[in-house]
């Protein structure tokens, strides 16, 4: 058990809808990272938050947004969903330093299916 | 977008065989190189984090080396066991971002 909790495990929704994925980092970790894994693709970096502030952005679409709250949990909001957004979304945490050299601890992922 | 490449894409070996795979990454703006083990239906688990050129790390029968000047890392598994079957990912860390390779899928047959 990595100590990172992601909810929900599975999500099925229709095109055009909006969903929110939630992540609670491991106790003591201040960094939260979001990754997307589409079919036959590797882990694509979306965004990194550290102690409530955005630190780095990857290939995150404008329809997607994220935030990290004072209690350090993070939410990834996906809107105007398209079929191609169907993927496994992972959250990972690390810390407490922002520049890590320490490993990422992954949650079990949220499987999003857009129909 | 940075390129992190892993080879081979997949590997099938017999129990007891030793094996190794490669991770290639940019040689500039290097912070660290990570290796993760990803079993089916689970989430990736950290194996090693390496930061210095020439670093060697070992965990049981698994070891890794790092060459930051030429931008590669090797992961070695000595005497593979069926429970070593997994996808092995490397990740290049730079400027608060982690760039993952596509992984090497290892299948160890009993």
Mean pLDDT rounded to a whole number for chain A:
92
Q: With beta carbons less than 8 A apart as the criterion, state whether B38 and B96 touch.
A: no
Q: With beta carbons less than 8 A apart as the criterion, state whether B80 and B18 touch.
A: yes
User: Region A8-37: what's the mean pLDDT?
Assistant: 96
d(CA A31, CA B82): 34
| Partner residue facing B102 (CB), from A42, A100, A109 | A42
Provide the residue count of chain B. 110
What tokens appear for A102 in the block? 């320490």
The pLDDT score that the predictor gives to residue A39 is 78
What tokens appear for A59 in the block? 């290939």
User: Quick check: A56 and B95 CB within 8 A?
Assistant: yes
In Å, what is the CA distance from B91 to each residue of A64, A83, B33, B99, B108?
Answer: 23, 28, 6, 5, 23
pLDDT classification of B1: cutoffs 50, 70, 90: low
d(CA A46, CA A51): 17
The pLDDT score that the predictor gives to residue B75 is 98
Closest Cα of chain A to B51: distance in Å? 7
In this predicted structure, the answer to whether residue A100 has a pLDDT above a threshold of 70 is no
User: Region A33-47: what's the mean pLDDT?
Assistant: 89
CA dihedral B37→A91→A8→A14, nearest 10 degrees, is -110
User: Region B26-47: what's the mean pLDDT?
Assistant: 92
The pLDDT score that the predictor gives to residue B92 is 93
User: Region B72-78: what's the mean pLDDT?
Assistant: 97
In this predicted structure, the answer to whether residue B41 has a pLDDT above a threshold of 90 is no
d(CA A2, CA A93): 9
Could you check whether the bond before residue B8 is cis, i.e. omega within 30 degrees of 0?
yes
C-alpha B75, offset from chain centre = 5
Q: Kindly report which listed range (A9-13, A18-22, A93-97, B41-45) carries the lowest average pLDDT score.
A: A93-97
Q: Which residues of A touch B49 (CB under 8 A)?
A: 100-103
Number of A:B CB contacts under 8 A?
61
pLDDT classification of B2: cutoffs 50, 70, 90: confident
């Amino acid at each position: 058990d990595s100590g990172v909790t992601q909810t929900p495990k599975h999500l099925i929704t229709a095109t055009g809808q909006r969903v929110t994925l939630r992540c609670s980092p491991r106790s003591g970790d201040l960094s939260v990272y979001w990754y997307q894994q589409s079919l036959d693709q590797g882990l694509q970096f979306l965004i990194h938050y550290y102690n409530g502030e955005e630190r780095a952005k990857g290939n995150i679409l404008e329809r997607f947004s994220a935030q990290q709250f004072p209690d350090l949990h993070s939410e990834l909001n996906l809107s105007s969903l398209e079929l191609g957004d169907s993927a496994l979304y992972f959250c990972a945490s690390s810390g407490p330093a922002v520049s890590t050299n320490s490993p990422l601890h992954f949650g079990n992922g949220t499987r999003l299916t857009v129909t | 977008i940075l390129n992190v490449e892993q080879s081979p894409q997949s590997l099938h070996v017999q129990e007891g065989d030793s094996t190794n795979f490669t991770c290639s990454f940019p040689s500039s703006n290097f912070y660290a190189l990570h290796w993760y083990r990803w079993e089916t239906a689970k989430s990736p688990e950290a194996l090693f984090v390496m930061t210095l050129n020439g670093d060697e790390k070992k965990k049981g029968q698994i070891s890794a080396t790092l060459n930051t000047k030429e931008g590669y890392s090797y992961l070695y598994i000595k005497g593979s066991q069926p429970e070593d079957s997994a996808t092995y990912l490397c990740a290049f860390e730079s400027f608060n971002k982690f760039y993952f390779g596509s992984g090497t899928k290892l299948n160890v047959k009993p």
